[in-house]
Structure 1
Amino acid sequence: MSSTAQSINQIASEYNSKLNKVAPKAVGIQLALMALLGLAAIISFSVLRPNNSVVYQPKVKYSEDEKQPPKLDKGLTSWVGPTFKTDEQQLLATIGLDAVTYLRFLKMCRNALLVTAALTCAVLVPLDVVYNLRNVASKNRNYLLILTISKVRGAWLWAHVTMTYVLTIVVFYFIWVNYDQMVKLRWQWFRSDEYQNTLHARSIMVTQIQKRDQSDEGLFNLLRSLQIPYPTTAVHIGRKVGTLPELIQRHNDAVRALEGVLTSYFKNPSRVATNRPTMRVGGWMSMGGKKVDSIDYLTQKIQRFDERIEVTRQGMSGGKAENYGFASFETVPYAHLVAKKLEGKKKGHARWDLAPSPKDIIWDNLTMYDNARRKNKFFGAILLTVFCIFYLIPLAAASLLANLASLTAYVKFIRDWQNKFPTLFAAFVGVVPSLLTALLQLLLPMVIRAIASMQGATTHSGADRVVTARYSAFVIISQFVIFTLLGVAVQIAMKLYVEIDAHSSASEIWDYLKTVPDTLQNTYIIQSSYWLTVFPLRGASALFDLAQLIALLYVWIRTRLFGRTPREIREWTKPPEFDYAVYYSNHLLMVAVALVYAPIAPLVPLFACFAFAVSYWVYKYQLMYVNTTRVETGGRLWNVCINRVLVCVVLMHALMAVTMGLTSNWHHSISIAPPFISVFAFKFFLDRQFNDRFRWYVPSQTELAELRIHHADARKSRLERRFGHPSMFEPLFTPMLHKKIQHLLPTIYHGRIDQTHGTLEGKKVEQNKIGGLTFDLLEESQLAFDRNAYLHQRDEDAMTVSSATQLRASPGAGPGMGPGAAGRYVDGGDYFNARREQYLQHGASKNGSPLGTPIDEMDLPSELSRMPTGGTMGPNSSTDRLIQYPPSYAVNPFGSNSGGSMPPNMPRYAGHQPTSSVRSATMYPSDARGDHEEEHLHQQQQQQQQRRMSAMDFGLPLPSSPNANYSAVARSRTPSPGPDRAYRAARDSRASFEGAFGSNLPPRHVVGGQPPIYHMRQGSLPPGSAPMGLPMGAAPPRHVGAATPPPFIPHPPMSNVPTPYAAYSPRSTGNGSPARRYDDPFEHR
């Protein structure tokens, strides 16, 4: 053996010897240190919590009454009981589904890793220990590495391969069970009053609208042209706001800056500094520019912005339309069905999505077209790549520190340090690298979120999903894959340096390079010791989040050195928002490391399980008492995280295959193929079973009949108020100062001080007007944020509750899954068009339908058996002139009126009403019905309403002609009309007109060539013959507004099928696309 080879072997022997001493000691020191810090954090929290409720339990004050967390006593351990005993259903009612989803994910990871650690430690650890004791010399043993696959060879490796199969099944089981529970939780959330009463839950968002459709009327016509079979209650097109949002932001920033300057200047009210504060304007990083007086400059800046904002807002009345809009529906399932059908499709050259919460929208990105979004994504990807490359530089330093023991053989001062101070050296190796990698993770999420916003994310929750996906991928690749490769590169570089320094031949260097695969294997197994130091740090950092010691220290330093403005104090008293994307990503890194090392280093999943257990209880308390959810999304991050967990399983298979190839034979790596392929099969079945039910709310017929319907959106302009750009009504900041410095204002401003009173969050506060500005002067008792104002800011949509009407299921309700069947979903396919011909031939449903032959119940998907309720014929718009419809007619089975008796088979005209109700049939004060008559009419309308809900053809009311009396009594003795006659009565305007006004219909062209329906729409009838049941010349009641648009027909006529409603189909424009205008065959204007 050459001298060079002997030196290399000697170096390797020394390295193993040092590593055997350093690694176990480093892990022990880190574990003990983090345990002490965690215990100190728990004790600090228990002592500080009782007297600092603003910090440790702000949600007790700022939660709604029905969402109050359990009360806590002043005892040191009184927080333990409620945290451990509160179950998931209680949490769902108090903290929301997003928080419950996060806790369920932590619990799933904890339980899965607990089973994983139990299996691997019980099976693999004894096998590895026995093999090392039998086959490895004692001087080459590491007390941690003998518990791993590091030295195992031969047939003993198949135990690890078998465990890989078992662990794959374990992960699949926990994912499936928890995914099923998540679907049930989602449906419980869908059914909740909080979700059902929000306007955005039953609305869709339309973006990239073409120029010709950029108006309320244009959006209305666009919806009608798509043949959407569900009636909209309002539409609203966005309006251009220009630079107004930027002006408001700059104004508020200037106010904050002025408050900070004045607070710092008046920090000591008894002794004011003689020199006024100054600042530089126009410079760069405090270099160059012009030095100005800070107070005067900011005051003038605020005044200029006030004037510009006022002028801009006044000039925006009736401003230009934007290329996005919103449309609301009567119920939540209607919006979900429309969004599900149109998702990913550019119908009408526009994009369609479920409307997010207005607070969740990134308004600047709504106007972005696909071309601009693709360009921004390209440049954003380049920017992110460049940033990640530079990010690897400090990461390489962290990897070098983690492998510091490997450098002792090559660097003299490191070797001397280890020899003289072995404990300090081990502590440094165990603590500093993991702490450095944790600090490096603070900046990256903010950069990724900014890039996601730049690339065109339309919502903050969508940006969070991007951050979770990209950040988790980056930390897994960088801190696991690249971190390991960097360690290998360090060792190879050092050994090559020794070879070259010894003047080795090329053949000797090549022989060494052949050992690189073994070096790679040893490195990633050895680095399992590094991860054993990371997981205690994760647990301790969670306990520090509980104690909030860093936040308290920051506030104390800020208050002592600079002072805090009243606005900062008020915002600090509010419950902070929980950053789910960052926490999910950090936990996904822990899952990746634990699963990848599970079959080769069983202690890693055990330490990870401990970290997840601590995190679960800490963040359960935090979400119950401290943190809030910015915007409730119903746990949409769940499927993103599950996909990443499956990627972690694939990484486990990949590393196990590499290990088999390096330690045994590369042909043996094929044994990992079955579990590897099973991941993709599992993902396929997972999506097929849960994806649609997780994302969309498609209830059964019975449940749909009991849902609330909303009908007053257009009349009350709810959609416009909720989805108007916030800059149009956002209040500007008013400078806030402490009341105790009121007497110092004349020292900085000249002129008379006007002392008045104003309102802040509904409460009276004292104001001083001086220097052209109005200052709010707050007492100490007013520094806490007002609870009612906070609840008002977080209110999703309180105004829509009053428009809800509860539908009740009648005994004749059609078949359905029932309210409790959240676990089933029947895919109806292309239900807007596929069953139209079958409907024309057979009717609508198996029971209760007068429209023809019943069809098989199983052949009718539940989504196809619904119809808008009570007289709503088509989509409304947000403007009054778009609310009008052709009138509907209510059947009066008694035939009584003030003017005499009315034939029993003649219907009474009641006028169009948004929903069926008793009031819709009592429009005339002269019709004084008795209690029995009112009750009978109410029951009849309920039955008619239930039949509308179960009808297969959407969008139009059932026929109300005298031949189609659908009361319970009439159905029992009157045969149902045939499908042709009933359908014509429902669709033909003239047939409906004949049914309402009798058979003595005058000729179409009378009174100036206008048909009777024209006069009915104009609010008067032609003189002469009057409708039966109405006084001569009386006009039926109608909504006030412009003329009614033509009837809304939800489907084009079937080809080769002559239909009486063909005149209502879209007229061809000559270029293959139908126009969005419908001709009325009885209206010749």
Structure 2
Amino acid sequence: MATKSSNGISSDDIKQVFKASDSVEPKAVLIQVIVMTALSGFMILAFNMLRPTNKNVYEPKTTYHAQDKQPPRISSSFFGWISPLLYNHERHLFPTLGLDAIAFLRFLHLMRWLFTATALVSCALLIPLDLGYTITNNPPQHDILSSLTIRDVQGPKLYAHIGCLYFITLLLMVLVYYHWRAMYRLRHQWLHSPEYQHAFYSRTLLVTNIPPKYRSEDGLWRIFDGMNLPYQVTSVHIGKNVGNLPQLVKEHNKNVQDLEGVLVKHSKDDPYFQERPTVKVGGVLGFGGTHEDAVKLLSHKLKQSAAAAEKYRLQLLRHEPNNYGFVSMASIPAAHGAAFDLRNEHPKGLFFELAPNPKDIFWENISLSKGERRFRTITGFILMILFCTSSLIPIFPIASIANLDALAESNAIPFLHSWVRSSPSSYALASGVIPPTIAALFNLLIPRLMRWLSKYMGANSFTTLDRVVIARYFTFMVVSQLVLFTIFGVVLNSVLEIIDAAKLQKPTLDSVLNNLNKLPARLTRTYVDQSSFWIKWFAGFIIVFDLAQITNLVFVSLKSRFVGRTPREVREWTKPPIFDYAINYSNLLFMAAVGLVFAPLAPLVPLAAAIVFWTSSWVFKYQLMYIFVTRVESGGRSWNMIINRVLFSAAFMQVIAIFTIGLQHQFESLQFLASIPPLIMTILFKQYINKRFANDFQYFLPHFEELARAIVHSEESDVVGRKLEVRYCHPALHLQTELQMPLVYPESLLLLRHNSRTGKDRHRNRSRGVDVEKARPNSLGSVVAPEELVEGVTVTPVNEVSSLSASVVTTLVLI
């Protein structure tokens, strides 16, 4: 006989819940978690085994770093990488990593503690309550996962979810205020740092959309003289129209890399140089044509492309100026003050902003005219709308796959129904792994396409492009994955219900309309039901794939073994790679949005989010300390927009919770009214944050007493030294630095010399090698011989290049 507890729950009731949990979805979630946890363990093991012998992959910053930005010392022992992560905090890392990296780590710190506290409270409070309510009332079509959510809870017990909503809102406000205050302090510390105070771009303005009559240095002087600004201008520089020169430089550099590839591949295939490499010229579809000496042909192309670029550059000296220019101010406060005063002013159609770092500029975009920029903006938005619309096509099958359990039970697809009956384990595996995998693969292309479209639409700099991509990609993900994905799930479930009803009796118009009237309630129910999909989706991010860098290791190893690597490729691949803030911020922000939306509805989702953010904080901290570098330091400029999207996610969570609770009692209960204040609190808090921190975050506007200590530069020193022109001249005009010269190994010089055809000459040249006494080490620790002229082509023989350890291939083969 079943026994009952004090709250009226019998053992039979508990057995009933777990009996209902024999459905596919709980098994699918469990299988996904187990598979991804096992893969994560394997990746951590592979990382610990490969790291000591492949430091150029896992610790490139220990070798290649600025003099004052050496990363902390790290041991080569099995777990030697953990200690630096534990004992190096923000005050130690700020001088070496920069404020952009510190802001990224602070965001992860905020998210991990937000979801840790949320998961502890919601799991401890809501899971027992929801499970007890489900056991007591035994609602239809429930399993262990739905029993842990708000889906079937009604009445006074909803106040527990409302209390959790208040807790999450207040906790988020406290954490955001704490980190905003810290970032505000760090931003001003960076603005006062010697690195920024002595940077020339920090006191420079960018002026775009200059009318034709002002496109001269005298015109720029007249513009600023006519505005009567209380800031001293020390020098001006008008941009030059470079025409096709960048394309000529790009073509020349491609010829250089093609020649290097031919030399390395032929040296690998024919180490004794019995035959010279050839290439087919002419012909159609592989038929016809003649075989030419590849080295001679590419050498001839190099000489022609270099001469064409130099000739074009000399002609540019007589070309007209462009529609942009740069203006240097006497001090940093003067430049920031002028940019702040002119941020919304457009005299004569001009646009003023703080000049980016020269390394940060998209030179092909900065010179766009107003008409070109407007055309690109319109066409870019049209393309983006078309892309976003077409991207909805894969969402429906993903939503269908995410509801495989419902499809199988409805028998709408006989194959699925028979599959789940014959092999429930394999069906659970497919249901658990396939949907999040497809969603992840689908999302690989989106941010890169967003980046291309945003650049096409006229972004002037890399840092601006990053912020634009974050904003657009996050918006797209929320709309497509959190809104339309759920709506498609509702439509699918409604269609399945109509199909099931049609099997029993012929559907009428009234029955169809009655089914449609249930859409609002079904929408909130589907949100809750899809929490299991997002648990599986989060489980896919537990894998620390980026930490192991397996893809990079395999690619480099295979290419070095079967194709060969040129000295230039070795140099580029062993440098620390650029950290992609835009994509990583976007993915993490969407994780935060998912975790927040389901926090008061399904407590297991914020628990999964907490695990992912703790894992991500460790992985990204290691990567920023030892692997990746920031392309151009912006001083944490993205922080404001990141926090804005976190607060938007909180508001979205509150709206979903309000509708979920309100629909339980037709929006007429006290619970519905009690769920509204958190949304109002979030909106008011956002206004306060803007007034307290955000409005003063971008510009360096010191107080009166600080102005007296500001470094003031004279007009004479800027004009005589031509500092502005030197720093903001288009890179293509510096042909000596932009035109590459071939980097070759000493043995490859034999292919570049006509007089080394005989075996005797080959032996003499090979034994001659390079005079190491005259060689000089380059910035990467390589030994580079002085340039020499071979067949009219200037080359740099590389005697020794720091490359990936040969044990990479051996280790991978053994594994």
**So what's the TM-score if we normalise by structure 2?**
0.88
> Whole-Å Cα distance in 1 between the matches of residues 755 and 676 of structure 2?
77
Q: Aligned with 2:63: secondary structure?
A: helix
Q: Aligned with 1:235: secondary structure?
A: strand
Instruction: Say whether residues 1:72 and 2:74 are aligned partners.
Output: yes
Other-structure match for 2:95: 93
Is the helix fraction higher in 1 or 2? 2
Other-structure match for 1:230: 231
Q: Which amino acid letter does the alignment assign opposite residue 603 of structure 1?
A: L
Q: Whose Rg is larger? A: 1
CA apart distance, 1:528: 0.5
Classify 1:240/1:118 alpha carbon distance in 2 versus 1 (closer, same or farther; 3 Å).
Answer: same
State whether residues 19 and 405 of structure 1, in contact with CA within 8 Å, keep that contact through their aligned partners in structure 2: no
Classify 1:491/1:327 alpha carbon distance in 2 versus 1 (closer, same or farther; 3 Å).
Answer: same
Classify 1:634/1:111 alpha carbon distance in 2 versus 1 (closer, same or farther; 3 Å).
Answer: same
Classify 1:282/1:692 alpha carbon distance in 2 versus 1 (closer, same or farther; 3 Å).
Answer: farther
Other-structure match for 1:946: none
> Whole-Å Cα distance in 2 between the matches of residues 784 and 223 of structure 1?
54
Classify 1:667/1:33 alpha carbon distance in 2 versus 1 (closer, same or farther; 3 Å).
Answer: same
Other-structure match for 1:1013: none
Other-structure match for 2:6: none
What aligned pairs does 1:559-574 form with structure 2 within 5 A after superposition? 559-574=560-575
Instruction: Say whether residues 1:477 and 2:497 are aligned partners.
Output: no
Other-structure match for 1:1064: none
Q: Which amino acid letter does the alignment assign opposite residue 35 of structure 1?
A: T
> Whole-Å Cα distance in 1 between the matches of residues 394 and 689 of structure 2?
39
> Whole-Å Cα distance in 2 between the matches of residues 660 and 723 of structure 1?
58
Q: Which amino acid letter does the alignment assign opposite residue 724 of structure 1?
A: C
How many residue pairs get aligned? The number is 767
CA apart distance, 1:550: 1.5
State whether residues 758 and 767 of structure 1, in contact with CA within 8 Å, keep that contact through their aligned partners in structure 2: no
> Whole-Å Cα distance in 2 between the matches of residues 456 and 95 of structure 1?
29
Q: Aligned with 1:699: secondary structure?
A: coil
State whether residues 263 and 748 of structure 2, in contact with CA within 8 Å, keep that contact through their aligned partners in structure 1: no
> Whole-Å Cα distance in 2 between the matches of residues 748 and 661 of structure 1?
88
Classify 1:596/1:324 alpha carbon distance in 2 versus 1 (closer, same or farther; 3 Å).
Answer: same
Instruction: Say whether residues 1:737 and 2:744 are aligned partners.
Output: yes
Classify 1:705/1:487 alpha carbon distance in 2 versus 1 (closer, same or farther; 3 Å).
Answer: same
CA apart distance, 1:534: 1.7
CA apart distance, 1:281: 7.6
Other-structure match for 1:398: 398
Other-structure match for 1:545: 546
Other-structure match for 1:443: 445
Classify 1:744/1:364 alpha carbon distance in 2 versus 1 (closer, same or farther; 3 Å).
Answer: closer
CA apart distance, 1:277: 5.4
Classify 1:471/1:434 alpha carbon distance in 2 versus 1 (closer, same or farther; 3 Å).
Answer: same
Q: Aligned with 1:778: secondary structure?
A: strand
Other-structure match for 1:614: 615
Q: Aligned with 2:206: secondary structure?
A: strand
Other-structure match for 2:197: 196
CA apart distance, 1:53: 1.6
Other-structure match for 1:713: 718
State whether residues 20 and 144 of structure 2, in contact with CA within 8 Å, keep that contact through their aligned partners in structure 1: no
Q: Deviations over 1:753-801 (max 9, x none)?
A: 999999895875155644543333322346699xxxxxxxxxxxxxxxx
Tell which deviates more after alignment, 296-305 or 173-182.
296-305
Q: Which amino acid letter does the alignment assign opposite residue 745 of structure 2?
A: H
> Whole-Å Cα distance in 1 between the matches of residues 518 and 208 of structure 2?
58
Other-structure match for 1:341: 341
State whether residues 54 and 804 of structure 2, in contact with CA within 8 Å, keep that contact through their aligned partners in structure 1: no
State whether residues 336 and 701 of structure 2, in contact with CA within 8 Å, keep that contact through their aligned partners in structure 1: yes
> Whole-Å Cα distance in 2 between the matches of residues 562 and 185 of structure 1?
47
CA apart distance, 1:113: 1.4
Instruction: Say whether residues 1:728 and 2:733 are aligned partners.
Output: yes
Q: Which amino acid letter does the alignment assign opposite residue 53 of structure 1?
A: K
> Whole-Å Cα distance in 2 between the matches of residues 683 and 70 of structure 1?
38
Other-structure match for 1:679: 682
Other-structure match for 1:702: 705
Other-structure match for 1:765: 785
Other-structure match for 2:264: 263
Other-structure match for 1:1039: none
What aligned pairs does 1:278-317 form with structure 2 within 5 A after superposition? 278=279, 298-317=298-317
What aligned pairs does 1:860-899 form with structure 2 within 5 A after superposition? none
State whether residues 265 and 273 of structure 1, in contact with CA within 8 Å, keep that contact through their aligned partners in structure 2: no
> Whole-Å Cα distance in 1 between the matches of residues 415 and 547 of structure 2?
41
Q: Which amino acid letter does the alignment assign opposite residue 31 of structure 1?
A: V
> Whole-Å Cα distance in 1 between the matches of residues 274 and 654 of structure 2?
68
CA apart distance, 1:408: 1.2
State whether residues 499 and 509 of structure 1, in contact with CA within 8 Å, keep that contact through their aligned partners in structure 2: no
What aligned pairs does 1:955-1034 form with structure 2 within 5 A after superposition? none
State whether residues 295 and 752 of structure 2, in contact with CA within 8 Å, keep that contact through their aligned partners in structure 1: no
CA apart distance, 1:236: 1.3
Q: Deviations over 1:47-97 (max 9, x none)?
A: 222222211111112222321111112211221111111111111111000
Tell which deviates more after alignment, 208-217 or 590-599.
208-217
CA apart distance, 1:726: 0.8
State whether residues 18 and 405 of structure 1, in contact with CA within 8 Å, keep that contact through their aligned partners in structure 2: no
Q: Which amino acid letter does the alignment assign opposite residue 371 of structure 1?
A: G
> Whole-Å Cα distance in 2 between the matches of residues 233 and 695 of structure 1?
23
Other-structure match for 2:14: none
Other-structure match for 2:143: 142
> Whole-Å Cα distance in 2 between the matches of residues 735 and 596 of structure 1?
55
Other-structure match for 1:36: 38
Classify 1:377/1:17 alpha carbon distance in 2 versus 1 (closer, same or farther; 3 Å).
Answer: farther
State whether residues 567 and 801 of structure 2, in contact with CA within 8 Å, keep that contact through their aligned partners in structure 1: no
State whether residues 365 and 458 of structure 1, in contact with CA within 8 Å, keep that contact through their aligned partners in structure 2: yes
Q: Deviations over 1:88-110 (max 9, x none)?
A: 11111110000000000010111
Q: Aligned with 2:390: secondary structure?
A: helix
Q: Deviations over 1:1006-1029 (max 9, x none)?
A: xxxxxxxxxxxxxxxxxxxxxxxx
CA apart distance, 1:176: 1.5
CA apart distance, 1:367: 2.1
> Whole-Å Cα distance in 1 between the matches of residues 290 and 166 of structure 2?
70
Question: What are the ranges of 5 or more consecutive residues in structure 2 without an aligned counterpart?
Answer: 1-17, 806-815
State whether residues 269 and 741 of structure 1, in contact with CA within 8 Å, keep that contact through their aligned partners in structure 2: no
Q: Aligned with 2:721: secondary structure?
A: coil
Other-structure match for 1:53: 55
> Whole-Å Cα distance in 2 between the matches of residues 303 and 395 of structure 1?
52
> Whole-Å Cα distance in 1 between the matches of residues 95 and 801 of structure 2?
31
CA apart distance, 1:641: 0.9
Classify 1:745/1:299 alpha carbon distance in 2 versus 1 (closer, same or farther; 3 Å).
Answer: closer
Tell which deviates more after alignment, 19-28 or 664-673.
664-673
Classify 1:281/1:303 alpha carbon distance in 2 versus 1 (closer, same or farther; 3 Å).
Answer: farther
CA apart distance, 1:696: 1.3
> Whole-Å Cα distance in 2 between the matches of residues 748 and 442 of structure 1?
52
Other-structure match for 1:241: 242
> Whole-Å Cα distance in 1 between the matches of residues 123 and 377 of structure 2?
46
State whether residues 17 and 140 of structure 1, in contact with CA within 8 Å, keep that contact through their aligned partners in structure 2: no
Classify 1:265/1:415 alpha carbon distance in 2 versus 1 (closer, same or farther; 3 Å).
Answer: farther
Higher relative contact order, structure no. (Cα contacts within 8 Å, ≥ 6 residues apart): 2
> Whole-Å Cα distance in 2 between the matches of residues 593 and 280 of structure 1?
56
State whether residues 336 and 697 of structure 1, in contact with CA within 8 Å, keep that contact through their aligned partners in structure 2: yes
Q: Which amino acid letter does the alignment assign opposite residue 307 of structure 1?
A: A
Q: Which amino acid letter does the alignment assign opposite residue 314 of structure 1?
A: L
> Whole-Å Cα distance in 1 between the matches of residues 243 and 124 of structure 2?
66
CA apart distance, 1:746: 5.2
Q: Deviations over 1:392-436 (max 9, x none)?
A: 333333322222122213222222322333222222221222122
> Whole-Å Cα distance in 1 between the matches of residues 423 and 382 of structure 2?
46
Q: Which amino acid letter does the alignment assign opposite residue 25 of structure 1?
A: K
> Whole-Å Cα distance in 1 between the matches of residues 468 and 246 of structure 2?
25
CA apart distance, 1:314: 1.8
Q: Aligned with 2:269: secondary structure?
A: coil
Q: Deviations over 1:667-701 (max 9, x none)?
A: 45555443323333222221111123211111223
Q: Which amino acid letter does the alignment assign opposite residue 604 of structure 2?
A: L
CA apart distance, 1:370: 3.4
What aligned pairs does 1:937-952 form with structure 2 within 5 A after superposition? none
**So what's the TM-score if we normalise by structure 1?**
0.67
CA apart distance, 1:657: 2.5
Classify 1:291/1:597 alpha carbon distance in 2 versus 1 (closer, same or farther; 3 Å).
Answer: farther
Q: Aligned with 2:602: secondary structure?
A: coil
Q: Aligned with 2:316: secondary structure?
A: coil
CA apart distance, 1:132: 0.9
Q: Deviations over 1:428-453 (max 9, x none)?
A: 22122212222222221221111111
Question: What are the ranges of 5 or more consecutive residues in structure 1 without an aligned counterpart?
Answer: 1-15, 786-1085
Q: Which amino acid letter does the alignment assign opposite residue 389 of structure 1?
A: T
